[in-house]
Structure 1
Amino acid sequence: MKKARTKEKTEPIKPKIKRWVLRALGVIVALPVVLTLLYTVVPPYSSLMLARVVTGQPVWREWVPLDEISVNLQRAVVVSEDGGFCVHDGVDWPAVRGQVGNLLEGKRPRGASTITMQLAKNLFLWNDRDYVRKVVEIPLAMFMDLVMSKDRVLEIYLNVVEWGPGIYGAEAASETFFGKSAANLSTTQASLLATALPNPIARNPAKPSAGHRRLASINRSRAQVAGDVLSCISATDR
């Protein structure tokens, strides 16, 4: 007698796809968490830097510790980008609520990104302006603020932020535009660098336009009267 054939059990395709999708989502969610913990001790590269490396474009970044970056630049950047850096939990909630209100009123929202939120974007997210990215930025920024000291957040930010095509971090920017180390920046040079950040491709700190000079002058004046905006920073030369 012929033995009856037994059908091999195969898993349906849809459940298999669903499981792989869930696994992929789990990796996507877990990766920034794991990397953030790693970056508390390891110098990171930003997503923009990695994209340039992958596409064969040059990247110049020289990592320097925070106490080797002029306090003039630290202060100018905090005043320009995030005056409440030392007091919020990674997110400036009043600013966020204000921008949500503008959105509901039909106005175009702008700003509200803290240094920590910008760092989350630079390390893990994309550069286009959209609401999905903003929503993802918020929990990432809060987690960063939870596991990293303010010193470390500012140190990483000043070492990965873009200051020109292929120019990343304070040391590379200082050498490129002023021919000196980031430790030796004057208040004027620091303000020119800080006010270049919103548009680093168009604004050249070494050859500033009249508008750029005006913004730098405003930044320098604000920094002089801003109080101790670096009160949370423990760098010895502050």
Structure 2
Amino acid sequence: MWKKIKKLFFILILANILFIVWGKFFNPPITLTQIGGLLEYGKLKRDYISYGEMGTHVKKAVIASEDQAFFSHNGFDYKAIEKAMKHNEQGKKLRGGSTISQQTAKNVFLWQDRSWIRKGLEAVYTFIIELVWSKDIILERYLNSIEMGRGVFGVEAASEYYFNKNAKNLTKSEAAWIAAILPNPKKYDPKNPSAYLKRKHSWIMRQMNNVNLK
């Protein structure tokens, strides 16, 4: 029995290693979050594109919105985590401190919840992809797999869904609208923005001026 358990454990580790290495060259065939969206909404709008096909505006907008230290941290933004912990301790609405690298690890390899098991695995995968993948690859995987609406995944599908154009052709304002719906794309709609979303859009537009793509 113990030998079978060790064998199974070894197979799982090997499969994960192969999947991580494979992911350096290819986008995931499908993710657990995408399966969940398909089951919940009966549709899966997704169109993987290369890093170069994404254009500049949407990259800057998402980095400005989600993780302005993306190119300088090692996968974990400890200042953002500390701020999030202090904010949450005050009993306010929960705020996350996850980086784009952490969100990529979650979106590509794991599932969506707040359990300690998932967070622990997320940390492991984040550490590994920061070592094995480049920042451009991490950002490409993130922008292709991130949920951008009900059954809509990735910036290309979001660009087509909200603005009827390719991601590379988005204006600065349109890219900021797409970034503004993160991290709650099921709640917010750039076609019918709330006052909060309008304020966030304006903030992202300003912050995009501070983002330099490496």
TM-score by length of 1: 0.79
1:50-109 CA-to-partner distances (Å, cap 9, x unmatched) read 345578932111111111112111001011111111011112234345556778x68687
2:64 alignment counterpart = 79
The RMSD of aligned alpha carbons is 2.4
Matches within 5 A, 1:65-214: 65-96=50-81, 110-214=95-199
Equivalent AA in structure 1 for residue 60 of structure 2: R
1:8-46 CA-to-partner distances (Å, cap 9, x unmatched) read xxxxxxxx1x43333334444443322111011122132
Specify the SS of the correspondent of 1:84: coil
Specify the SS of the correspondent of 1:143: helix
Structure 1 range deviating more: 22-31 or 88-97: 22-31
In structure 2, relative to structure 1, the CA distance for the partners of 1:183 and 1:227 (3 Å cut) is closer
Structure 2 unaligned residues grouped into runs of 5+: none
Specify the SS of the correspondent of 2:45: coil
Specify the SS of the correspondent of 2:148: strand
Within 1, Cα distance between the matches of 2:203 and 2:194? Answer: 14
Equivalent AA in structure 2 for residue 165 of structure 1: R
Aligned counterpart for 1:60 among listed residues 15, 40, 45 = 45
In structure 2, relative to structure 1, the CA distance for the partners of 1:21 and 1:158 (3 Å cut) is same
Within 2, Cα distance between the matches of 1:35 and 1:25? Answer: 15
Equivalent AA in structure 1 for residue 58 of structure 2: L
User: Taking every aligned residue pair, what percent have the same amino acid on both sides?
Assistant: 32
Q: Is the 8 A contact 2:75 2:127 kept in 1?
A: yes
Specify the SS of the correspondent of 1:163: strand
Aligned counterpart for 1:42 among listed residues 23, 26, 29 = 26
Within 2, Cα distance between the matches of 1:169 and 1:52? Answer: 13
In structure 2, relative to structure 1, the CA distance for the partners of 1:55 and 1:179 (3 Å cut) is closer
In structure 2, relative to structure 1, the CA distance for the partners of 1:107 and 1:206 (3 Å cut) is closer
1:22 alignment counterpart = 6
Return the offset for 1:134.
1.7
TM-score by length of 2: 0.88
Return the offset for 1:139.
1.8
Within 2, Cα distance between the matches of 1:195 and 1:52? Answer: 20
Structure 1 unaligned residues grouped into runs of 5+: 1-15, 232-238
In structure 2, relative to structure 1, the CA distance for the partners of 1:24 and 1:151 (3 Å cut) is same
In structure 2, relative to structure 1, the CA distance for the partners of 1:138 and 1:107 (3 Å cut) is farther
The structure that is helix-richer by fraction is: 2
Within 2, Cα distance between the matches of 1:94 and 1:23? Answer: 40
Equivalent AA in structure 2 for residue 156 of structure 1: R
Equivalent AA in structure 1 for residue 183 of structure 2: P
Please identify the structure whose Cα radius of gyration is greater: 1
Equivalent AA in structure 2 for residue 40 of structure 1: K
Within 2, Cα distance between the matches of 1:199 and 1:56? Answer: 16
In structure 2, relative to structure 1, the CA distance for the partners of 1:174 and 1:29 (3 Å cut) is same
Return the offset for 1:189.
0.9
